[in-house]
Structure 1
């Protein structure tokens, strides 16, 4: 028997769907800015083993020579990103939702079990609850990454006016490197998140849109009492 069960409140769904396109636009505009000073690579000296974004990648996405556009978009959507994040944090604490999101002493062991199960290396399913240990750690990490992106972004946006913040983060170059690493972290989180959503199926995806999921409940059993013990039908 199919039954609708409420899963995600409206506020959580709104914060989720506002943050997703805003963050994607932040990453895109950041790429337009990064093109102007593409310095990060894996290698040593003059030897380069790997560049994060080759010229063919930039040309395929029409990225070159759009620095001013990237900066304008980045600084506009930065405020939407910050406002949405502040409202989400306020809602999480005021509603008590943080109790389900923050990792506890069992989360890291459970996260390892979830990872092994998802990779098909462990047959026993982890405990079913609103957020498992892996989700608690991932969502809390993304929240801290958002704070880190804001601080490092401000440090490289206003290195003179916010010199104390820039120096606290190790200087301009260090703050820029941290900002870049956090962006790569967002991309990896998106990839894993989308794969997990696809793996969980349509029912899970629908719950983040409509707020409910369809669950199977046992059908009510018919009465098995003997005919003599059943009440006689009333007559009119």
Structure 2
């Protein structure tokens, strides 16, 4: 017998899917801006060993000479990014869903067990509710990262008008580095998130679109052994 189980609300699904193209455009436009001052490298004694975006990469993606376009897109979509984030946070607070998302004292220990289970090192997965411990930590971290991107972005965008934010970030140069590191964090999160979705299967992915999941209703049955008197 098939049963329909409600899994994700409309508000959660809306903010989740809207955020994906917004962040994609933000990262793309941020690369157009970064091209104008490509300063972050790994080097020693005046010799550069590694650049995050070498010339062939910028040329392949047609990034050079598009600074004004990148700034226009970045400063426009940052408002959509902010509004979408505020809507999501308000929804989780007023709906009480933050209880399902916020990690607890045992989450870090259980997250390690989840990782071992995903790597097929541990056979039994730790007990979970709607989200496992690793998901709770990751989803909470991405909210904090979004807040950090907003603060550092404003500190870079208007360092004079938002001089207090710039000071809290450690100055303009530090805010720029922090903003860049957070962007790299988003990329890693996307990669891990997509891999986890693939491993979870189509049914789990479908529930994020439709909001429900179709499962088999198969209650556990306890088989009582036959005693010698009943034979």
Q: How far has the Cα of 1:180 moved from its partner?
A: 0.1
TM-score (norm 2): 0.92
Per the TM alignment, residue 53 of structure 1 is displaced from its structure 2 partner at its CA by 1.1
Listed as ranges, the matches of 1:202-213 within 5 Å are 202-213=202-213
> Which residue in 2 is equivalent to 1:67?
67
Query: Separation in 2 of the partners of 1:49 and 1:111?
Result: 36
- Matched with 1:228 is none
Alpha-carbon distance in structure 1 between the residues aligned to 2:203 and 2:15? 20
What is the SS of the residue equivalent to 1:29? helix
Map 1:1-236; keep pairs closer than 5 Å. Answer: 1-218=1-218
Q: CA deviation at 1:124?
A: 1.5
Q: Which has the larger displacement, 175-184 or 162-171?
A: 162-171
- The aligned residue for residue 232 of structure 1 is none
TM superposition shift of 1:172:
0.6
RMSD: 1.3
Q: TM-score, normalised by structure 1?
A: 0.90
Shift >6 Å, 4+ stretches: none
**Cα distance per residue 1:155-207 (max 9 Å; x no partner):** 01101111121112111100000000000000000000000001111101100
Distance 1:155 1:144 in 2: 17
CA distance in 2 between counterparts of 1:51 and 1:120 reads 36
CA drift of 1:126 comes to 2.1
1:69-100 deviation per Cα after TM superposition (whole angstroms, max 9, x unaligned) = 00000011000000010111111000000001
How much does 1:128 deviate? 3.4
In structure 1, runs of 5+ residues without a counterpart are 222-236
Give how far 1:65 is off: 0.6
- Secondary structure of the equivalent of 1:129? coil
- Rounded to whole Å, the distance in 2 between the matches of 1:145 and 1:99 is 19
Alpha-carbon offset, residue 45 of structure 1: 3.4
Q: What SS class does the counterpart of residue 37 from structure 1 fall into?
A: coil
Q: In structure 2, how many angstroms separate the alpha carbons of the residues matched to 1:92 and 1:184?
A: 26
Q: Could you list the runs of 5+ residues in structure 2 that have no partner in the other structure?
A: 222-231
**2:225 maps to what in 1?**
none
